[in-house]
Structure 1
Amino acid sequence: MKYRKLGHGLTVSAIGIGCMPMIKGGNILYGEAADLDESTRTIHRAIEMGVTFFDTAQIYGPFSNEELLGQAIRGKRDGLVIATKFGFRFDGKQITGVDGSPENARQSCEGSLQRLGIDTIDLFYQHRVDPSIPIEDVVGGMMRLVEEGKVRHIALSEAGPETLRRAAKAAPIAALQSEYSIWERDVEDEILPVCREFGIGFVPYSPLGRGFLAGAVRSRDELPEHDWRRNDPRYSDENLPANLRIVDAIGAVADRHGVSKAQVALAWLLAQGDDIVPIPGTKRRATMEDSIGAADLTLTADDFAAIDAAAPRGATSGPRYGEQGMRMVRL
């Protein structure tokens, strides 16, 4: 396994693991429900292969994803970087809105620590920006958790460039997590430059376009009835056929190298900078092992040109979220 540094000296495996798909049922389902035993074996196998970076969140399940990860790493904690996120209000298990207050950060942190069964969260994200609370107050509350030893590093998710700049002036931000992939490149315009100005690592989520760039879906009809992607505009009957050209271009590169489409998509991201650490979501050992192989794939100039021709910035058909989701990103 190769390793990279996020901000402020936080060393992680070059590819992390997005644990969100690993729960059975819950509020966000991709494909068929996960087998919990296989999810646990996937985490154990990833650790054996040198993966150190595992990403979860309070909202996944909600709560049950942290519990699953916590149980899986019991006795295997040393050397791992465990990331989780706060930023929402709950009524039981029902999400009622965003809440970036220091009080919610503390309450959420303590709940996450208990569910994960660890003493310190290595990387603690604000999951979505709360526009009602100045970001300086948000990161100030998070830093108090660092001072108390409950958190090692703080981070943001889906913050816009000005919010990120203000946060970085107020506190040491180790990472920004946002969607970034061959078909979602908007961060290249303003957000990545701000990260690099302040030495903030970048963690792309959905680096495989929720499976699309891996060639997993060629028709919306292939998605199970309760699959979250049925609400994804890019998977709609109107947009999906146009977006298949991106998958076909990735497939041509993959065939030249004798690798999977997923490996090409991840290798493309890794080549965008040493400060970039994608976290493909997985729930099976086979897909996890395939994704990890991307760290050893080197693409050529011709490969990059072919991908750029098929997927220039802004050319993907459809927004990445529906209207409500888009109102919560890049704030």
Structure 2
Amino acid sequence: MEKRKLGANGPEIGAIGYGAMSFSDMYGPTNEAQSHAVLDACRDLGVTHLDTANVYGMGKSENAIGSYLKSNPGAQDEFIIATKAAITRDPDGNRIFDNSAEHLEAELDKSLQRLGLDCVDLFYAHRRDPGITPEETAANLGRLVEKGKTKAIGLSEVSPATLRRAMKAHPIAAVQSEYSLSTRFPDLGLVQTCAEFGVALVAFSPVGRSLLTDNPIPRDRLPTLPFLAGNPRFMEPGLTENLRITDGFRKLAADMGISAAGLANAWLLTRGSHVIPIPGTRSVEHLQECMSGASLTLSETDLEQIEAVLPVGWAHGDRYSAEQWIGPERYC
């Protein structure tokens, strides 16, 4: 697999990484054996970057990775591992964001224990804490580099302006953002700002939470998946239109001899050498489909055909509901 750098001074990783939210139960029940099979396939396919977080299954994702590393000597040297913290609850159970030095270090310590590591390669503030400046957040994260608990730091779901401010306090290796053919707002500043500073743009949900695959999540499963059941793009009247429009993308991919997921990831790789998609899945077969995009070179004609079937702004419904929008920064 082609290699890309995880930040200006970071390690080289496979051009497409793996998003381990799927090791939790976010998109349906899973177990450790299933997760370990996906990690085996990652190694076979040249996937070297794993992205997880403390809140994915409340530690379940990190535990699955940790147990795999323990039972597979040598795997630790093959994977570049990132985790995140900052999403938490107040005493009344409300979802809040904490970028304080104390919270970030305490949560990273627990993540390291679950992963069975002394140090991670990358540690993100999962969401911006509105009560703390970007400069202070970056400084708090930077102290964890000084303590040898992470090799680099990142930010998630932030604006270009926040990135610029944070960079004044400490080098940022990566910014994570939703980015795909169905969610293209990073093109309005974030892609460019990351490129300016040599920051990796790690693109989560690169296949539009299944809309950009050969087999979107069936309607009858949606009520069992709370996040999607409340997501505007998976609710009527938007869902029917989104499925109709993406049928054209599925046909185009089939005509090109590739899976829709592979084509969606290949498109992202054309957006800049610093863009790194991290698809997630519980299925080895779907993982293979996603990773097939790494070997596909898209011509100008290919890109024009993609734009014709999925023009900017095609998706019906916002990417998040009002409740889901609490935390991510809007900047355009």
TM-score range, shorter chain: over 0.9
Corresponding residue of 1:107? 106
8 Å CA contact 1:34, 1:283 repeated in 2:
yes
Moved more, 272-281 or 74-83: 74-83
SS at match of 1:298: coil
In the alignment, the residues of structure 2 paired with residue 106 and residue 267 of structure 1 have an alpha-carbon distance, to the nearest angstrom, of 36
2:214 partner letter: G
CA distance in 1, matches of 2:16, 2:204: 11
Tell me if structure 1 keeps the 8 A contact 2:90–2:96.
Answer: no
- Which residue is 2:85 aligned to? 86
**CA deviation after TM superposition for structure 1 residue 304, in Å:** 1.4
Residue matched to 1:64? 60
Q: Structure 1, residues 65-118: CA drift from partner, whole Å, max 9, x if none? A: 1111111122220131101001123479x6741101111111111111101001
Q: How does 1:272-283 map to 2 (within 5 A)?
A: 272-283=271-282
Amino acid aligned to 2:101: P
Q: Does 1:180 align with 2:179?
A: yes
Identity of aligned residues (%): 38
Q: What is the TM-score with the length of structure 1 in the denominator?
A: 0.93
CA RMSD of superposed structures (Å): 1.8
* Paired residue type of 1:70: G
Deviation (angstroms), 1:211: 1.1
Superposition deviation, residue 159 in structure 1:
0.4
- Give the Cα separation in 2 of the matches to 1:183 and 1:277: 16
Q: How many residues matched?
A: 325
Preserved CA contact (<8 Å) 2:138 2:167: no
Paired residues for 1:139-218 under 5 Å: 139-217=138-216
* Equivalent-residue separation in structure 2 for 1:118 and 1:222 (angstroms): 36
Contact 1:219 1:240 in 2 (8 A): no
Find the residue that maps to 1:202 and give its secondary structure: strand
Query: Distance in 1 between the 2:314 and 2:7 partners?
Result: 31
Paired with 2:29 and 2:17, the residues of 1 have a C-alpha distance of 22
* C-alpha separation in 1, matches of 2:254 and 2:45: 25
1:14 and 2:15 are equivalent in the alignment: yes
Q: 29, 36, 39: which is aligned to 1:33? A: 29
2:225 counterpart of 1:229: no
Name segments (4+ residues, structure 1) moved above 6 Å: none
Q: Which runs of 5+ in 1 are unaligned?
A: none
1:297 corresponding residue in structure 2: 296
CA deviation string 1:212-259 (max 9, x = no partner): 110322763343524531111101111012222442232132122211
Check conservation: 1:215, 1:247, Cα contact below 8 A: no
2:4 is matched with which residue?
4
Conserved? CA contact 1:217–1:223, under 8 Å: no
Deviations 1:10-43 (A, max 9, x none): 21111111111123x4xxx21x312321211111
Deviation at 1:312? 2.9
Q: CA deviation at 1:131?
A: 0.9
Q: How does 1:97-136 map to 2 (within 5 A)?
A: 97-136=96-135
Which secondary structure state, in structure 1, belongs to the residue aligned with residue 208 of structure 2? coil
Cα distance in 1 for partners of 2:67, 2:218 equals 36
Residue 323 of structure 1 is matched in structure 2 by 322
Tell me, in whole angstroms, the C-alpha distance in 2 between the residues paired with 1:224 and 1:4: 38
Q: CA deviation at 1:58?
A: 0.6
Aligned partners of 2:322, 2:199: CA distance in 1, in Å? 29
Q: What's the secondary structure of 1:82's corresponding residue?
A: strand
Q: Which structure 2 segments of 5+ residues have no match?
A: none
Q: Which moved more, 1:192-201 or 1:82-91?
A: 82-91
Query: Counterpart in 2 of 1:250?
Result: 249
CA distance in 2 between partners of 1:251 and 1:171 (Å):
43
- SS of the residue aligned with 1:97? strand
Between stretches 222-231 and 50-59, larger displacement belongs to 222-231
Shift of 1:47: 1.5
TM-score (norm: length of structure 2): 0.93
8 Å contact kept, 1:205–1:279: yes
Cα distance between partner residues in 1 of 2:245 and 2:172 = 33
